[in-house]
Amino acid sequence: MSMSLRLSSFPPALWRLQPPPPPPPPLPLPPPVVSDTAAAAAIPLSSARSRTRRFRCLLPSSLTTQNRAPKLPPLLSSPGDVPSPEQDAEDEEGEEEDRASSARDALSRLLHLEFGLSSDDASRVASNAPDYIRSLIDGVRELDELSLWDSSWKSTPLLVSSASASAVAGFQEKVVFLAKQRGDRGKVAFLESIGLPLSSALSVARSVSSNSLPSLLRKVKVLKEILFSSSDVEVLLGKNARRMMMHLSIPVDEDVQLTLSFFEKIEARRGGLDMLGNKDASFLYLVESFPHLLSLPVESHVKPLVQFFESNGIPRGQVRNIILLFPPIIFNKVDDISKKVLVFQKILADSHDIGRMLLKYPWMLSTSIQVNYEAILSFFHMEKVPEPSSHRAIRYLPHIMGCSTSKLKLMVESLGELSVRNKKMGKVIAKSPQLLLRKPEEFFQVVSLLENLGFDRETVGKIVLRCPEIFAASIEKTLNKKLGFLKSMGISNDHLPRVIKKYPEVLVSDVDRTLIPRINYLMEIGLTKREIAFMVRRFSPLLGYSIEEVFIPKLEFLVKTMEKPLKEIVDYPRYFSYSLEKKIKPRYWVLKGRKVECSLKDMLSKNDEEFAAEFLDIERMPVPPAPSHL
């Protein structure tokens, strides 16, 4: 039915009197945008919190949601109102820094007013514990998002700056509440501030829970001052730690096992065991692995321990070397350490030996090493090695005490194959105790090298007695390098056995600091490389003589006083082996007084009887004193 028909069914007077339908309501306008300036004016902010954005970020999420002005719908907003991603990132970064600054301020006040640190120390701790601060901020944010706060977070007003805005104050109170709820009383933040990772700081804090924060801070300062104040960097600490582990072949006690675990943790980190030489890093490693160190009484324990080591010849700056290489020793009482030191009294030559041994091998104070030490002395006694020799070997290389007697026996038997036994053995190990720590296969590799050069077993045995260091040296890094140097001088393979037999020490001499300087000096005085090679072939010990004490004074007497040419020393390089005062000068003055001319060889090679018989026609030559003017 049409509308007109429906209306016509009513009386005209009725439908004409009805009011027209109301017009549709207008579209609602968006509420006015509240500007940052207007919002800021409604909230009393201090000068330090004048930016509304900074204030807004510190409000609880519920509050910021209620008071934030709604944004324009996207279709009605202008392009200029849409922030760029870069601006959003900058704003977010600024807000995070504001939170961190506010949290640091709150933590600093807590450390100072409630946990007892000075204002400066509290500020320093709060500024150097970024991970701890971040964890507090994250905790506040999480509880805000979950709406889990109640009135219990309200803190003591003294812990919050009176100048802070109410929202800032609320945020700081929450930070303080969380910090107190953790129960460490500021120790975690302090431990992070000295360099420990947050995870390690949490663990260490549990171990030192009985210490107050001011007491803990004082202990750290004193320990670093006593043990780690020296600026010297001990670059060899890592090397010695590796050496101690390498030559350990006995069952160990708990203290050594703890030390090995300590080394393994450091080796797994960047820089490895070489970081033991870094005083800042090594202190942190020590605290991290042995946190009870911070519970030791300084006056009654730490200082007496340091004084004990100093009284045994160890400089204060090197006491830390002993502790880093054997940390459990710091928990021992001085009386107990003194008893352990007395065990070695019979092998000491002087009062400073114990200090030198401790610096090389602090494990000597462990129970397992001391037991093995007695076994090693018995072993040397059974092998008929003279006690002075075995004692000297242990003093010089205390790492021997960590070696099992079964391993030592293998090397002793290897030396025996070259007829080095008993007293000869004593002579060898007293001169080169490191030979005892070699593996038999490494030893025989050197023997084979010498045999390939033309030596027989008997001669190799004599070389062991003369220079055992050769057999403890690396073939690739040392021996082959010296052989190559001799060949570069012009020494042929045919002459190498003679050169080495006369002066085997050449194989363990430093090329750059010993051999090359002597060659260069002889060339500077006018000798050719070929002449020097000829001299070395005839008398190789020439390469071991001191330039200042041998070459210079004897050459000056040869050229200036005797007025002989350099050709004389080329023909007879053994001239440098004779004493200038006891032989060269007296014989020269005798011959000069008799107006006798002869070569250096004729003058010096004969013994006194032969010289007197040939030049003086008497059975024994009286040796006149040198002229006083010389």
Q: Map tokens 């961190």 to a residue.
A: 100
The pLDDT score that the predictor gives to residue 618 is 57
With a cut of 70, say whether residue 525 has pLDDT above it. yes
* Distance set, CA 46 to CA 28, 210, 266, 346 (Å): 38, 40, 49, 77
More confident residue, 625 or 402: 402
More confident residue, 282 or 616: 282
CB 296 within 8 A of CB 247: no
Give residue-wise pLDDT tens across range 463-496. 999 999 999 999 999 999 999 999 999 999 999 9
The pLDDT score that the predictor gives to residue 452 is 96
The three-state (H, E, C) secondary structure of 173-241, written as one string: HHHHHHHHHCCCCCHHHHHHHCCCCHHHHHHHHHHCCCCCHHHHHHHHHHHHHHHCCCCCCCCCHHHHH
The pLDDT score that the predictor gives to residue 61 is 41
More confident residue, 234 or 228: 228
Choose among 285, 289, 287: nearest CA to 270.
285
CB 357 within 8 A of CB 398: yes
Cα separation, 246 vs 439, in Å, equals 12
Choose among 215, 109, 99, 220: nearest CA to 155.
109
The pLDDT score that the predictor gives to residue 407 is 96
The pLDDT score that the predictor gives to residue 81 is 55
CB 312 within 8 A of CB 337: no
For the segment 74-94, the average pLDDT, to the nearest whole number, is: 60
Give residue-wise pLDDT tens across range 269-328. 999 999 998 888 999 999 999 999 999 999 999 999 999 999 999 998 899 999 999 999
The pLDDT score that the predictor gives to residue 305 is 95
The pLDDT score that the predictor gives to residue 351 is 80
Write out the DSSP string of 443-458: HHHHHHHHHHHT--HH
More confident residue, 292 or 94: 292
Burial of 411 (0-12, 13-18, 19+ CB in 10 A): buried
Choose among 440, 526, 446, 525: nearest CA to 478.
446
Question: pLDDT averaged over the chain?
Answer: 84
Cα separation, 356 vs 352, in Å, equals 7
The pLDDT score that the predictor gives to residue 624 is 57
Share of the chain above pLDDT 70, in %: 79
Band (510; pLDDT cuts 50, 70, 90): very high
Give residue-wise pLDDT tens across range 242-269. 999 999 999 999 999 999 999 999 999 9
Helix axes 119-127, 85-113, angle to 10 degrees: 150
More confident residue, 317 or 72: 317
For the segment 583-599, the average pLDDT, to the nearest whole number, is: 92
Query: Helix, strand, coil shares of the chain as percentages rounded to 5?
Result: 70, 0, 30
With a cut of 80, say whether residue 619 has pLDDT above it. no
The pLDDT score that the predictor gives to residue 232 is 56
* Distance set, CA 157 to CA 50, 166, 473 (Å): 22, 11, 73
Cα separation, 600 vs 574, in Å, equals 9
The pLDDT score that the predictor gives to residue 34 is 40
Q: Map tokens 């004692």 to a residue.
A: 391
For the segment 392-415, the average pLDDT, to the nearest whole number, is: 96
- In this prediction the pTM is 0.75
Cα separation, 380 vs 417, in Å, equals 18
For the segment 429-455, the average pLDDT, to the nearest whole number, is: 96
The pLDDT score that the predictor gives to residue 63 is 36
For the segment 392-407, the average pLDDT, to the nearest whole number, is: 97
**Which range has highest mean pLDDT (33-37, 168-172, 231-235, 574-578)?**
574-578
